[in-house]
Structure 1
Amino acid sequence: MKRLRPAISELRLAIPVLLLDWAALGIAIAVTPGLSAHTGWDVLLAAVLLAVAAALLRPLFAAFAARLGWAGVVAGWLLTQALLVYLALSAAPNIEVHGFWPAFWGSWVYSALVSAGMWVVTAGDNSAVLAHLLRTTRRDRREALTTTVPGVVIIQIDGLSAPLARWAVQAGNLPALTRWIRSGSHRLAEWHAQLPATTPASQAGLLHGASAHVPAFRWLEKETGRLVVTNHPRDAEYVERGFSDGRGLLADGGVSLSNVFSGDAPVSLLTMSTVARKGARRGPTREVSTYLVDPFGLTRSLVLTIGEMIKEVFQARRQRARDIEPRVHRSASYVALRGVTNVLLRDLNLTLIAEHMMRGAPVIYCDFVDYDEIAHHAGPTRAESLASLDGIDWVLGTLEQVAADTPRPYHFVVLSDHGQSQGATFLQRHGLTLEALVRRLMSGEDADVAGAPENEQWGRVRALLTELSGERQVVGRLTSSVLEAHHEPAAPAPAEGVDLVVVASGNLGMVYLARERRRLTMEEIETQHPNLLTGLVTHPGIGFVMVRSASRGAVVLGRDGVRHLADGRVDGTDPLAAFGPHAAADLARHDTLPHVGDIVLNSPLDTSTDEVAAFEELVGCHGGLGGWQTRPVLIHPAAWPAPDEIIGADAVHRQLVRWLEDLGLRTRPGPPGPGATGSA
């Protein structure tokens, strides 16, 4: 019965798909110069011939394109459908085709209409996508070894807080997750994300148990003058090389998809730390080639991407028209970024997960950034952000159905790396940037400032482009030029004249007085810049300041009091009182991390609204303390034992490892692999 399911799914779609093809092909012929048909029945026959030609020839075209590399796949995407349309129209009686180019343009009209039509016809239904996935992975299923040992698919919903997840499940807005929770098959739990609450720090912990190596989203290595930005492939590889011991979460045959770090997975695709690695796979897989050359694949995704971009323009305008606050400017580059992350990458990730499930991969870990990206610009609880969660839930439901035909059973774990907190930005509230404030307070020095922030999710696009740029072909050269245009260079060394580096990770800021190649103490900062700490502490946009005293260790300075982290003593009013029970421990730990700034800043928290103020232009943010940003979610099979309280991404990593060991998916540690460098 399992074997019949793909055929039944495809048969159920055959008639509506044929009717849609008939209508789309008829319109394409009618509007394209150089194409004509006598009757509608001639068009129907051509649609049937096109379907037959596609079924017979497209797999051959996809396999041939894959052998040519990414350049061949792109050429295949441009030409395959045109060739099929040209052959079908030429073979159909009473249809006139005046050369290849009319068929080429007509094929694009046809493909766009079919993609839009399928979206309308199947809105809310994944049967067409499911049938497509089962069809394109059929060969993988035949070649895989069948086993009863279950595998695990781990889906990271980037930025989803546990309170919001719990509300969405209670409201029934996420059908797949709601069904899992209500049926008792899964349990929804919350864990605490330690400072910094960012994707790189959390993934270093979740995938490697090494979150202590990442002090922020971006930071300065004062010893070398290198500005590390973790959504740059070269920097992500550099950071992972410093902590990988070869025994990450995915070391035993796992697959890493669209992550910052690889978890030491033997198969790593669209992962920032591995896309530029020498010896990494550069060519596309057969299934990805099929996805790209199939009109139901890349062409469909592009049509829906354009639709997502149009929707973003409307929603941004509606925010302005209704004067919704807080809000930020949603630039043209973000319009494109939302389309790519919320449609194109999601579809590609779904295809890759299904492919590796059909191959029987023991563990798959994939990060979906749809919600996080929209929440940054629209707000964590705004309608468009919640709609993106529905899209990821649709992916979960589809993968659940794919699992019914895989060579091994699969368990599903859904987790997030952090939550998000909302609020008007520091610039909006106070009319200047954090960098400008620090510069103003520095003893009258006209300091140069390095470290301008970059949108977090551009790294996802960069990873995709870097995957393509590995081959020394046309596509490689083109994408390499794009990467160079977007690559943020390392900060100049102190000797080159940079006095100040200010970096932001949401509402967490770090200030580096860059002429010194070591972290300065509070006393040294006071001596060099007498107005700086006092000015920061008393500014209404600063919630607290952490510095390291030569005699007292790490201290947290507030407007009305000081907290000594070493012994817990508080002089005056505790500056951390509003930030929750974990704040002091988080800051004490953060103070010990490598490459922490000379000064660490956090925005204030409005306890009546749980709002914070990002030091970047993001209405939804994470990285520091305050609100839901430190409250990520963990949804796991209810039968799997778990502690009531989990503190930190490293603890989640250890729990995931225990579950994999219980399932027989972890081998005993051996000598470090060739890529391991030790856990420095």
Structure 2
Amino acid sequence: MWVVTTLTMLVLAGLLPDFRLESPDDDSATRLGVTAAIGAGVFGLLSALVWPLLVRLLLLVPALVLGLLVFFLNGGLLLVALWANPVQQGDASPETAVVVAAVMSAVASATGGALAVRDDDAYRRRLHRLSDRRRVRAVAGGPVTPGVVLLQLDGVGHDVLRDAVGQGLMPTVARWLGEDGGGRPPTHRLALWRTDWSSQTGASQLGILHGSNFDVPAFRWYDKQRREVMVCNRPSSAVVLQRRAAKNAGHPGLLAVDGASRGNLFSGGAGEQALVLSIAARRRRKGFRSRSGYFAYFADPANAVRTALSFGAEVLRELGQSLRSRLERRRPRVGRGGLYPFLRAFATVVQRDVVVYAVAGDMLAGRTAVYADLVAYDEVAHHSGPRGRDAAQVLRRLDRVLALLEKVAEHTPRPYRFVVLSDHGQSPGETFRSRYGLDLGDLVRAGCGLPVPRRARRTRSGAEARSAVRAALHRPVEEGAGEHLPPVRRAEPVVLASGNLGLVSFPDVGHRMSREEIDARHPALLATLANHPGIGFLLVRSEEHGGLVMAAHGAAVPLEELSEENPGPLEPYGPGAVAAVKRTHGFPQAADIMINSWHDPATGEVHAFEEQIGSHGGLGGEQGRAFLLAPVALPEPQDPLVGAEAVHRVLLRWLGKPPAGTGP
């Protein structure tokens, strides 16, 4: 590194007329080389000693902006190094000094980080070296019982994982399952778990981490008691949901004992939290904890360069893949322009690198339990499809993350078991708006006899990565928040979408309206919705029958009459659909009208009410089929895993009384 920065300084001195390392009357090549070497050496020392202090002084700067400031701030240290040179001071005009400083800082950081961009072994060694200071428990007589690392691969369905292993996209998982052809016995077993009706990260992760997702009917819904729209990836909403879940479950969460929560919507009761959305709404000192993972990661300039190079490559990759999709005229397809390439790069590069770095640090510190969410696949699959080539590349990279952390475990003060799970899957299909030329809000307005805009409005995606970007940028208003607030005319319905699950609420009525009340106000609304070809069924409350499932051709079946043997209109949605709908009907915050899109059992397709060709949030297809990959050393669940709360109970048992064994 010293040699490279010295040579770079000499090259710049030769190329830039306003930058000199020697006095005008000094032509000694040796003296010039010594001056450059000393300047580069002092620069390296300042970068190692002063840079971490500068990072701590910049806590008020948005985390992503800090990454962009790396070159300029580290370049400022170079100017100090030039002025402090004991042999002779360099000379540069202010403008040239800025250029030289930026180039030198980039070269110095790239030298330490560029080799690690493609070399996971080099990156692992860097993580190990930089995390030595955290190994406070790595002493004689330290913990010998295995810790547990729980990695959530957001949106990766059970069947998608199975196919990825069979196609050779995930060799690490294949080795764990004993399916890599090496003849080794499996170290892990793969289980299927079925999500709730609300098959999305908010409900699933809340149930997994806190043991209760009661009264979470969707990703976003209108809360009549609070008179506001609740959104699972809105920090202020996440705080309320986490508090409610802890109260319902009677304990603070899965990670309450020596746990760490990284990159999640909720804390799980962990004492160590970073990039956790439920604490992102807090201000001042406590509020910084949600972004502390970014500052810890960017404290090393080489990390910033490694991530910056990968970020740029991912943006270019998305632009190329999007262009190819248009040229090949693939269907279905959604828009992938605007800021999306940068949002995708954040999810697949920045969030991944920072979370993996934090998890490695937790392992090297010997923490008992770590839970981390990697959102890369979910973000890409929303726009490219859950089984497209773009999503397959992300699965390959996620497998490399598992291999990297497995290698980190070789240096940890205690053995670790790796439990990998998903919060839901994704179901493919053309969007509702693309298929029928109007969105769900327009259809509801038409059924209410209200004017419908001539041009369909573009809906927003509820992908988890957007909330993390806003938290990193100190943005107080979350994605879509203002768009979904109740309209001024409160008699008009609030229409919200969560994948292929739609919710209609009337904000001027303080209770959940009945079918009879809706018919009296808007006689054509329920019939318009139930008979639309893009809608599979409705759930409403009836004064006569309680819960009522409505579908096309006048079907209206009391919910209590449905069962697994007689699912009625819910038959296309497969096993568990009746129980999931019945549970949601019991939620106080269930919408006045709960709408699930059409579903084709033969193809697994649904129609998302958002602009997503890979969606989740309702019933139908692979979105409700998540996975749990756990070491064979842990007890196998005896009962079928139905609902996120069931997964929580299994994980709680594993963490509370881990069996003997030290395998990963």
Hey, what's the Cα distance between the residues in 1 that align with 2:528 and 2:296? 59
CA RMSD of aligned residues (A): 3.6
Are positions 1:253 and 2:258 aligned together? Answer: yes
C-alpha displacement of 1:83: 4.1
* Amino acid in structure 2 at the alignment position of 1:190: L
Deviates more, 1:298-307 or 1:379-388: 298-307
Tell me the equivalent position of 2:274. 269
What is the percent sequence identity of the aligned residues? 35
Tell me the equivalent position of 1:521. 514
Tell me the equivalent position of 2:647. 652
SS at match of 1:483: coil
* Amino acid in structure 2 at the alignment position of 1:459: S
Tell me the equivalent position of 1:376. 382
Match of 1:153 among 149, 153, 167: 149
Tell me the equivalent position of 1:632. 626
Match of 2:543 among 533, 538, 550: 550
Q: 1:312 to 1:285 in 2, by over 3 A?
A: closer
The gaps in structure 1 that reach 5 residues or longer are 1-16, 466-478, 666-680
Q: 1:32 to 1:153 in 2, by over 3 A?
A: farther
**8 A Cα contact 1:203 1:261, kept in partner:** yes
C-alpha displacement of 1:498: 4.7
* Amino acid in structure 2 at the alignment position of 1:213: D
Are positions 1:136 and 2:130 aligned together? Answer: yes
Tell me the equivalent position of 2:160. 164
* Amino acid in structure 1 at the alignment position of 2:219: F
Hey, what's the Cα distance between the residues in 1 that align with 2:175 and 2:373? 22
Deviates more, 1:521-530 or 1:312-321: 521-530
Aligned pairs for 1:212-227 within 5 A: 212-227=214-229
C-alpha displacement of 1:64: 2.1
Aligned pairs for 1:265-344 within 5 A: 265-277=270-282, 280=286, 282=288, 289=295, 291-344=297-350
Hey, what's the Cα distance between the residues in 2 that align with 1:189 and 1:43? 66
Hey, what's the Cα distance between the residues in 2 that align with 1:212 and 1:389? 31
Match of 1:604 among 598, 611, 635: 598
Hey, what's the Cα distance between the residues in 2 that align with 1:578 and 1:196? 17
**8 A Cα contact 1:35 1:95, kept in partner:** no
Hey, what's the Cα distance between the residues in 1 that align with 2:371 and 2:567? 44
Tell me the equivalent position of 1:538. 531
Are positions 1:68 and 2:47 aligned together? Answer: no
Hey, what's the Cα distance between the residues in 2 that align with 1:571 and 1:656? 31
The gaps in structure 2 that reach 5 residues or longer are 22-26, 179-183
C-alpha displacement of 1:591: 1.1
* Amino acid in structure 2 at the alignment position of 1:173: L
**8 A Cα contact 2:382 2:615, kept in partner:** yes
Q: 1:226 to 1:30 in 2, by over 3 A?
A: farther
C-alpha displacement of 1:110: 4.9
Tell me the equivalent position of 2:238. 236
C-alpha displacement of 1:306: 2.0
Hey, what's the Cα distance between the residues in 2 that align with 1:31 and 1:380? 51
**8 A Cα contact 1:288 1:351, kept in partner:** no
TM-score (norm 1): 0.84
Tell me the equivalent position of 1:58. 47
**8 A Cα contact 1:198 1:622, kept in partner:** yes
Hey, what's the Cα distance between the residues in 1 that align with 2:118 and 2:349? 15
Tell me the equivalent position of 1:565. 559
Hey, what's the Cα distance between the residues in 2 that align with 1:620 and 1:520? 32
SS at match of 1:70: coil
C-alpha displacement of 1:370: 0.7
C-alpha displacement of 1:130: 1.3
C-alpha displacement of 1:533: 1.1
Aligned pairs for 1:85-164 within 5 A: 85-86=78-79, 98=92, 102-110=96-104, 112=106, 124-142=118-136, 144-145=138-139, 146-164=142-160
Are positions 1:586 and 2:594 aligned together? Answer: no
C-alpha displacement of 1:123: 5.6
Q: 1:389 to 1:492 in 2, by over 3 A?
A: closer
* Amino acid in structure 1 at the alignment position of 2:360: A
**8 A Cα contact 1:153 1:413, kept in partner:** yes
Are positions 1:390 and 2:396 aligned together? Answer: yes
Deviates more, 1:192-201 or 1:208-217: 208-217
C-alpha displacement of 1:643: 2.2
Tell me the equivalent position of 2:502. 509
SS at match of 1:511: strand
Deviates more, 1:100-109 or 1:544-553: 100-109
* Amino acid in structure 2 at the alignment position of 1:225: R
C-alpha displacement of 1:249: 0.3
* Amino acid in structure 1 at the alignment position of 2:171: P
C-alpha displacement of 1:162: 0.7
SS at match of 2:253: coil
C-alpha displacement of 1:464: 2.5
Deviates more, 1:32-41 or 1:403-412: 32-41
Hey, what's the Cα distance between the residues in 1 that align with 2:174 and 2:37? 41
**8 A Cα contact 1:494 1:516, kept in partner:** no
Tell me the equivalent position of 1:4. none
* Amino acid in structure 1 at the alignment position of 2:600: D
Tell me the equivalent position of 1:678. none
**8 A Cα contact 2:460 2:611, kept in partner:** no
Q: 1:314 to 1:28 in 2, by over 3 A?
A: farther
Aligned residues: 633
* Amino acid in structure 2 at the alignment position of 1:57: L
* Amino acid in structure 2 at the alignment position of 1:165: L
Are positions 1:614 and 2:614 aligned together? Answer: no
TM-score (norm 2): 0.86
**8 A Cα contact 1:452 1:503, kept in partner:** no
**8 A Cα contact 1:450 1:500, kept in partner:** no
User: CA deviation digits over 1:72-128, x for unaligned, max 9?
Assistant: 894983555214544667759999652565354334345556777888755642122
User: CA deviation digits over 1:338-382, x for unaligned, max 9?
Assistant: 111111111111221122222222111111111101111111111
Tell me the equivalent position of 2:181. none
Tell me the equivalent position of 1:462. 470
User: CA deviation digits over 1:200-223, x for unaligned, max 9?
Assistant: 000110001112231110000123
**8 A Cα contact 1:228 1:235, kept in partner:** yes
Hey, what's the Cα distance between the residues in 1 that align with 2:14 and 2:603? 57
**8 A Cα contact 2:149 2:416, kept in partner:** yes
C-alpha displacement of 1:261: 1.1
Q: 1:103 to 1:150 in 2, by over 3 A?
A: farther
C-alpha displacement of 1:574: 2.9
C-alpha displacement of 1:36: 6.7
Deviates more, 1:629-638 or 1:38-47: 38-47
Deviates more, 1:43-52 or 1:513-522: 43-52
**8 A Cα contact 2:258 2:270, kept in partner:** yes
C-alpha displacement of 1:463: 2.8
Hey, what's the Cα distance between the residues in 1 that align with 2:457 and 2:477? 19
**8 A Cα contact 2:424 2:624, kept in partner:** yes
Hey, what's the Cα distance between the residues in 1 that align with 2:479 and 2:278? 17
C-alpha displacement of 1:295: 2.7
Deviates more, 1:431-440 or 1:241-250: 241-250
**8 A Cα contact 2:496 2:504, kept in partner:** yes
Tell me the equivalent position of 1:191. 193
Hey, what's the Cα distance between the residues in 2 that align with 1:20 and 1:176? 36
Q: 1:386 to 1:50 in 2, by over 3 A?
A: farther
Q: 1:247 to 1:177 in 2, by over 3 A?
A: same
Tell me the equivalent position of 2:24. none
SS at match of 1:188: strand
